[in-house]
Amino acid sequence: MANLQKGVLEKVQHFLEKKKFPYEVIVVDDGSTDGSVEFLTKFIKDHPQFQLIKGAHYGKAGAVTKGMLQAKGEYSLFTDMDQATPIEELDKFLPYFEKGYDIVIGSRNTTRKGSPMVRQIISLGAIVLRKVIVGLPGISDTQCGFKMFSKEVAKKLFTRIDSFNDGFHSVKGSNVSYGLDVELLILATHMDYRIKEVPVHWLHVETRRVNPVQDSIQGVVDLLRIKRNALAGKYR
């Protein structure tokens, strides 16, 4: 709710209104109980390009997947509500699709501006573990919440993610789901999609729904699950 009250939706709308292409903005509510749905419902009445998907608390993976499968545009971008990576960074992505890339992902610098030191240490440790356990050596930052896909690629990747999780089920806690981004990129690599990593501006935004220690443990569990799936040929 705090991010909504800061005007993030207006910021996104003002940026996209200046563009020459049609757009839609899908906001997925992940089972919130803080008044966000009421706020969004009121906003959408005056902004027909925006739509709301309401559901139970599925966690990041479920929320992102449901939104991306609902998207109808030629290109689909998923971005965090806090706009830690501002929507203006979209301008850096579009030219790469014209060059034939299938997926363009944001990459934060290693200093992670504004992020507490403990979070930076955890992030660096996660990068090392990810490279050791599952690979993806050509990608430096798998976790930036700013990724864009061509329509066909998005449908194929997220349909498989949805299938892996049996359509997703209600969860408890923050459930940031480190594994979603890694699993998407592992799948994309096995399917020979062209991926471009692009540096983006990023500023740490604190949130109560993130627990560094709990999420780090879950991240290791996710990596081991992905490694097991890869060895079993699930991503072929």
For residue 73, tell me if it sits in a domain: yes
pLDDT value of residue 216: 77
For residue 115, tell me if it sits in a domain: yes
Q: At what angle do helices 117-133 and 212-231 cross, to 10 degrees?
A: 10
For residue 144, tell me if it sits in a domain: yes
pLDDT value of residue 5: 86
Each of the 236 residues of the chain gets a pLDDT tens digit; together they read: 788 888 999 999 999 999 999 999 999 999 898 999 999 999 999 999 999 999 888 888 999 999 999 999 999 999 999 999 999 999 999 999 999 999 999 998 755 566 667 667 777 777 888 989 998 988 999 999 999 999 999 999 999 999 988 888 877 766 666 789 999 999 999 999 999 999 999 987 766 556 667 777 888 899 999 999 999 999 98
Overall domain count for the chain: 1
pLDDT value of residue 111: 54
* CA separation for the pair 191, 83 (Å, rounded): 30
pLDDT value of residue 176: 63
Considering the entire predicted model, what is its pTM? Answer: 0.89
Strands (E), the chain: 25-30, 50-55, 75-79, 103-107, 146-150, 195-199
Residue 52 structural domain: 2-231
For residue 236, tell me if it sits in a domain: no
User: What CATH number does residue 157 fall under?
Assistant: 3.90.550.10
For residue 131, tell me if it sits in a domain: yes
The DSSP result for 22-33, as a single string, is ---EEEEEES--
For residue 143, tell me if it sits in a domain: yes
